[in-house]
A and B are shown apart, each in its own frame.
Chain A
Amino acid sequence: MLALFRRELQIGVRTGNGALTGVLFFLAVVAVIPFGVGPDLNLLARIGPAILWIGALLAGLLGLERLFQADREDGSLDLMLLADSRHMRALTVFVKCCAHWTVNVLPLVVVTPLLGLFMNVEPAGILAATATLAVGTPAITFIGAVGAALAVALPRGGLLVSVLVLPLTIPVLIFGVAAARGAVADPDPFLPPFLILAALMLFFAVIGPLAASLALRWGGD
């Protein structure tokens, strides 16, 4: 499993400039918002955490359809699925998700503080947004794995993956933004939504890989 993780990391870092594209997309989404709502710094400070979350959500969906497709094209996906007796299929998917998150989504979390400064979010809010993103974005990857597994055989499944996955990520978004806002706005609490967010992430860490491995097994040719 560690070997698989290392392999995925190497492939992700070497072949794809996926991380860079994701970060650029994130940057672009966040940069477009002030043009849309106007450069009022107070307003931006208020909606800043929400914008960071939406940007990260959209950027996190970007490379998802390649999660299994590349492996399917060169046949290694079949090998991973056949090795079920040694390595549980769901565990394989889980490790692939973790590697995908490390390569493609972790950079987004890293640049979040910088973008938070652009949005005039105060330091506590930036910290909270970064923390909630670090905890919440794995859930997006785990949910996305289900969509990616369902659409693995489709030639242009990228858009379909986003359409299938976005409704399911809404709870994560709700509690992520609620926690990020709770750190800034005074009456709203930070800890309860943050803990629910963590619980959601753990829940999807189980459900996502299980469903994705089922989809891969039954959807394969």
Chain B
Amino acid sequence: MGSGMTNATPQASTLSGRLTALANPTRFLALADSLVPWLGGLALAVLAVGFYMAFAAPEDYQQGITVRIMYIHVPFAWLAMFCYSLMAISALGTLVWKHPLADVALKAAAPIGAAFTALALFTGSVWGKPMWGTWWVWDARLTSVFILLLMYLGIIALTRAMDDPGRSARAAAILTLVGFVNIPIIKFSVDWWNTLHQPASVFRLDGPTIHASLLWPLLICALGFTLLFVTLHLMAMRADIWRRRVVAMRRLSARAAERAAR
């Protein structure tokens, strides 16, 4: 198979054993094939329920109808950070355990994460125009999320710049880990710098400060988008493995043709 894709001996029961078993790309592809339709359907169903609830939820007494942007903006922003954390874990998988799937996971997650980050910034600025009166402010959280977008794009550029998949995976993994310092900065930026973006209202030690009628649609939308993200990620990983196989097969056939010509 393509470089980095080795066949592992199947081991049962333990978690690490299962992860090792997944290193076999054929087994992973089979799992992904069976999971993707279910996850995709579930994501669509949960999102449909979430959107219905979001439109049925009462309007905010100050913000009016613009509060509905929150139901997509907040999940996008969560996923932007979740995706980067996933990539950082994959980077550890690449560097520490040299797990071939971790390479693929990191590479496949970067464009999806960049898309979610861009969407979070876009929906935020659409909300900011009527509420703050401006499309963009150089607020701590906005700026740090913008840096996150730049880092996603940098990682994508780095993975595209190298031909050898193994080497590009290691380079991207190191860059991802170094860039991970930004994630806590984003999370706590609203607490450290007292600026325009509102502080956390859902994950707090003293419980959420947001009313239940708004909280439930938000959580369900977040769940739906997370499922959607997992589906997209699995599909992207599957496509990347297929791409590597095609490259490997082309190389084999070219070699065979060369041998036949000789």
Contacts and interface: CB of A to CB of B under 8 A. Distances in A.
Partners in one complex: yes
Interface of A: 143, 146, 150-151, 153-154, 157, 160, 163-164, 166-168, 170-171, 207, 211, 214-215, 218-219
Contacts of A143: 178
A211 B175 CA distance: 8
A166 B147 CA distance: 9
Nearest to B98: A218
B19 to A, nearest CB: 21
Most B CB contacts (10 A, CB to CB) among A146, A151, A168, A215 go to A168
Top 4 closest pairs, chain A to chain B, by CB: A218-B170, A167-B150, A164-B154, A150-B171
B179 interface: yes
Contacts of B182: 167
Contacts of B153: 163
Contact of B167 (A160, A163, A167, A219): A219
The interface residues of chain B, by DSSP majority, are classed as helix
Nearest to B154: A164
Contact of B157 (A146, A163, A171, A214): A163
A160 B160 CA distance: 11
Contacts of B157: 160, 163-164
A163 B174 contact: no
A98 B147 CA distance: 27
Given A150-B174, A168-B151, A170-B143, 8 more contacts: A157-B161, A163-B153, A164-B158, A167-B182, A211-B177, A215-B171, A215-B174, A218-B174
B236 interface: no
8 contacts: A146-B178, A150-B158, A151-B161, A163-B157, A164-B175, A167-B147, A167-B150, A219-B171
Contacts of A168: 151, 178-179, 181
B95 A214 contact: yes
Nearest to B173: A218
A19 B56 CA distance: 64
Nearest to B168: A219
Nearest to B94: A218
Contacts of A215: 170-171, 174
Contacts of B48: none
A168 B182 CA distance: 8
A153 B170 CA distance: 13
A150 B154 CA distance: 12
Contacts of A211: 174, 177-178
Interface in B152-210: 153-154, 157-158, 161-162, 167, 170-171, 174-175, 177-179, 181-182, 185
B233 to A, nearest CB: 23
Contacts of B177: 211
B175 A163 contact: no
Contacts of B154: 163-164, 167
A49 B181 CA distance: 26
Contacts of B167: 153, 218-219
A218 B179 contact: no
Nearest to B146: A167
A135 B178 CA distance: 21
B154 to A, nearest CB: 5
Contacts of B175: 146, 150, 164
B158 A160 contact: yes
